[in-house]
Structure 1
Amino acid sequence: MRRLFDEELADLDASFTEMGMLVSETIGKSVVAFVNHDRETALEIINSDEQINQREVAIEKKTFEMIALYQPVTIDLREIVTVLKAVSELERMGDHARDVAEATIRVKGTKRSASIEETIATMGEQTRQMVKDILGVYVNDDAQGASVIAANNLSVGQLSHQVRLDVITNIEKDSELATSGTDYLIVAGHLKRIADYVTNIAEWIVYKRTGKIVDLNPGNSSSFV
């Protein structure tokens, strides 16, 4: 029975990691599409969002089946609960990546700011890397590494704040940037939320490893609105 449980848990971890890589790739593509004004890629991202949703449903179903069949306790139960919680965070990240793609569709024909889009591109790359890195930490069951990655949320928040300041400054100088400026703020907000979700996964990894509920970035989510 123990061998079967370990094998199914390994399969569950593999499915979670595959979903996470898909989400990381989608985030990267959505931001690149936004700054490159690539509506075709944006439409592909929007249309493929269901793939991420389906993976979440399949993983959740598997966790419930394992709980019912094996009735795990202590650390085994924590491992399954961590997957169940973390997969929900990944699905939300996918939703935000889709929303970034939808912003790409909206900004067609509006006046743009290359400097703000450069900041958003940097923000997007940092966020994508955080998602990718947290998957490695999850696989290695590295509570300390989880804390390090969560700390990167501060940098993403600072970039989000910079976008906000630059949007205000640019609109004051040129009112024609008001429409695109609104979308810059929205996109920066989506990327900040993704980074917040990475922090949530990091906290669940610490729980998985130690059994303790921690707050790795207290107050950070609202520090750079």
Structure 2
Amino acid sequence: MPRIHFQLQLAELKDKLLAMAALAQQAVESAVDAYIIRDLTLCQYVKQNETAINSAQRELDEMAYELLAKEQPMAIDLRFILAVIKINGDLERIGDQSMGISKRTRDIMKTEQVELPVDFTAMREVAGRMIRTAILSLLEGDARLADEVREMDDEIDRMNRCAQADLLKMIQEQPQATQQAMNGMMVSRSLERIADHAANIATDVIFWIRGADVRHQLSLSMD
């Protein structure tokens, strides 16, 4: 019976993490929508969402640490709980980055609207796909899906580099649009950071399933 109870607690922990991941995904989508269409109502939603994410993070951490202390799990169960704690932190940071995009929206409300040479919708789609796939890899216990997420990170890194270069060129050619372009650079950087957190989640799923730390594997292969 104690073992069955422990497995039920692990399932509850996973369910809570999935619910928090849904909040983080919504935060990213709403924040970018708010930026693109200059919608303060969506900004307020992102702020409320962040409050919910922060509350969920505290609850998840407390539950995970209690399981570690009381159950003293071994092997794969121990790795799962440790992975949950780390994933929990990355989801909270995705919420923080979404709030950063929301703040950029509030800033540009005071400026003239100009068209920026960046496809923020496409960047959001890549980041969102990475989050969804990383969480699916957790749900299905599929390390191959997690590998795919880490490979996707290259795509959004490239998109961010292009955005930074194009916006810098815009500042040089249209100095009157400097504030809007600088804002766009920060939004692009936030989306790249969100993707990094999704890649971190995938790395933690691989650690849980394979017992392997692959955090520096891709960077080493490119050296």
TM-score range, shorter chain: over 0.9
CA contact (8 A) 2:116 2:167 kept: no
Show the counterpart of 2:139. Answer: 139
Whether the aligned pair in 2 keeps the contact of 1:156 and 1:192 (CA below 8 Å) is yes
Deviation, 1:120, is 1.5
Match of 1:2 in 2: 3
Moved more, 32-41 or 44-53: 44-53
CA distance in 1, matches of 2:114, 2:133: 30
Aligned partner of 1:26 in structure 2 is 27
1:200-215 paired onto structure 2 within 5 Å = 200-215=200-215
Alignment map for 1:1-225 (pairs within 5 Å): 1-117=2-118, 119-215=119-215, 216-218=217-219
> Are the equivalent residues in 2 in contact too, given 1:149–1:199 (CA < 8 A)?
yes
Question: Which amino acid counterpart does residue 208 of structure 1 have in structure 2?
Answer: W
Deviations 1:99-157 (A, max 9, x none): 1011000011424443435x112101211121112111111111111011111111111
AA matched with 1:114: E
1:111–1:176 contact (8 Å) kept in structure 2: no
Root-mean-square deviation (CA), in Å?
Answer: 1.7
Aligned to 1:223: none
- Check 1:47–1:22 CA distance in 2 against 1; reply closer, same or farther (3 A cut): closer
- What amino acid sits opposite 1:175 in the alignment? P
8 Å contact kept, 2:116–2:184: no
Moved over 6 A (4+): none
CA deviations over 1:164-221 (Å, ceiling 9, x no partner)? 111112122211110011111111111111111111111111110111111353179x
Q: TM-score, normalised by structure 1?
A: 0.93
Write the letter of the residue equivalent to 1:146. Answer: A
CA contact (8 A) 2:130 2:199 kept: no
Aligned length: 220
Give the match's secondary structure for 1:116. Answer: coil
Cα separation, partners in 2 of 1:89 and 1:148, compared to 1, 3 Å: same
TM-score under structure 2 length normalisation: 0.93
Asked if 2 retains the 8 angstrom alpha-carbon contact of 1:15 and 1:59, the reply is yes
Task: Name the aligned partner's letter for residue 35 of structure 2.
Answer: F
Identity percentage of aligned residues: 22
> What is the alpha-carbon distance in structure 2 between the residues aligned to residue 27 and residue 182 of structure 1?
20
What is the distance in 2 between the residues matched to 1:116 and 1:141? 39
Can you give the 5+ residue segments of structure 2 that lack an aligned partner in the other structure?
none
Shift of 1:85: 0.8
| 2:165 maps to amino acid | L
Query: What letter is aligned with 2:125?
Result: E
